Chains A and B, each alone.
Chain A
């Protein structure tokens, strides 16, 4: 009798163990925004399959079959032609050949910006310095933006042709990604965007 029970428990454990990875494989996109001033916390947890469907449901942005017409979108926004995606694609190919490098460094009175390619990610660091008024009082505190973009994600985005960014390919890449994508922190708020396989973010406060 005891052996039967043990065998049953063993079988159940085996079934649970084999089922767990299937359930855990669903990638979830998490967004957490905390604003101290308003004492507000916003958490969004969405399976990437839903994000994909929502992106498809944004016809103004995704103009045809998951591809953004880059130059047209810029023109509509700014009323003039901007950076051609084809140029960006060419530059990106040349950068890929260089390997790890500090791609951009801007140092000014207001902010420091640094774009670094490190391994398989491109890191963007933006540090806004605190703004003060004439009397030296702080008008706005310091702000830090950290963005981490996987190289494969940029490759996927640029895999379209002509002036099209390939969103569908980018989502396929995002599904493979785990970890932080964006972190923004200023004196009042924290924003964090990340992907993992949990359907909650109970143990992941934005500021940590």
Chain B
């Protein structure tokens, strides 16, 4: 009985530890005449962070570098993102057309993009500090370690929610 408890206890404890460090969940639900297809892919955050941390060692240098033309604007992009992060909350953009509505708001340190159409409904939440971490440095290199660090601060966030007819895709960090 004790052996069984140990045998079950160890993997459960390991799973609990991994889960407590965070999980990125990709949830795809497709509906149609053939029935529903549900694919849920949970990726422990610690794996994603580890992959990002070792990426510079595994990937060729040029793969982790943005093109020179783009790199020269990164300082300015950073300035705009920092200004957005420091700006007060509010509704920045609202576009209303016959069949579509686009709303971009800032709530706290998150930029929320919401697109509503006839069939589709898309919500994307961009944590501004994650976007800042994703920006490459002045040398054009993507700082994967900084990105890995920033990932842990977006826990309990719905990143993407796309509803299109019967299909529904969600990406969230638990």
Q: Are A200's CB and B90's CB within 8 A?
A: yes
- Give the dominant DSSP class at B's interface: mixed
A residues 1-58 near B (Cβ < 8 Å) are 23, 26, 28, 38-47, 49-50, 52-54, 56-57
B residues 55-107 near A (Cβ < 8 Å) are 73, 76-77, 79-80, 82-84, 86-98
Q: Are A53's CB and B79's CB within 8 A?
A: yes
A106–B2 alpha-carbon span in the complex (Å): 98
A53 — which chain B residues lie within 8 A by C-beta?
76, 79-80, 82-84
Determine whether A207 belongs to the interface, using a CB cutoff of 8 Å to chain B.
no
Q: Are A40's CB and B91's CB within 8 A?
A: no
Also in contact, A59 and B95, with CB within 8 A (given A45-B90, A49-B86, A50-B83): no
B residues 23-48 near A (Cβ < 8 Å) are none
A49 — which chain B residues lie within 8 A by C-beta?
83, 86-87
Q: Are A59's CB and B73's CB within 8 A?
A: yes
B91 — which chain A residues lie within 8 A by C-beta?
43, 45, 199-200
Give the nearest-CB partner of A28 in chain B. Answer: B90
A57–B73 alpha-carbon span in the complex (Å): 8
Partner of A42, one of B76, B89, B90, B95: B95
B79 — which chain A residues lie within 8 A by C-beta?
53, 56-57
Shortest beta-carbon distance from B114 to chain A in Å: 14
Interface size grouping (class) on chain B: 20 to 34
Q: Are A42's CB and B80's CB within 8 A?
A: no
Shortest beta-carbon distance from B132 to chain A in Å: 13
Also in contact, A26 and B88, with CB within 8 A (given A39-B97, A41-B94): yes
Shortest beta-carbon distance from A196 to chain B in Å: 12
Q: Are B80's CB and A50's CB within 8 A?
A: yes
A188–B17 alpha-carbon span in the complex (Å): 62
Also in contact, A52 and B93, with CB within 8 A (given A59-B73, A199-B88): no
A45 — which chain B residues lie within 8 A by C-beta?
90-93
Shortest beta-carbon distance from A137 to chain B in Å: 27
A57 — which chain B residues lie within 8 A by C-beta?
73, 76-77, 79-80
Give the nearest-CB partner of A53 in chain B. Answer: B83
Partner of A23, one of B80, B87, B88, B94: B88
B96 — which chain A residues lie within 8 A by C-beta?
40-42
A28–B93 alpha-carbon span in the complex (Å): 12
Give the nearest-CB partner of A50 in chain B. Answer: B83
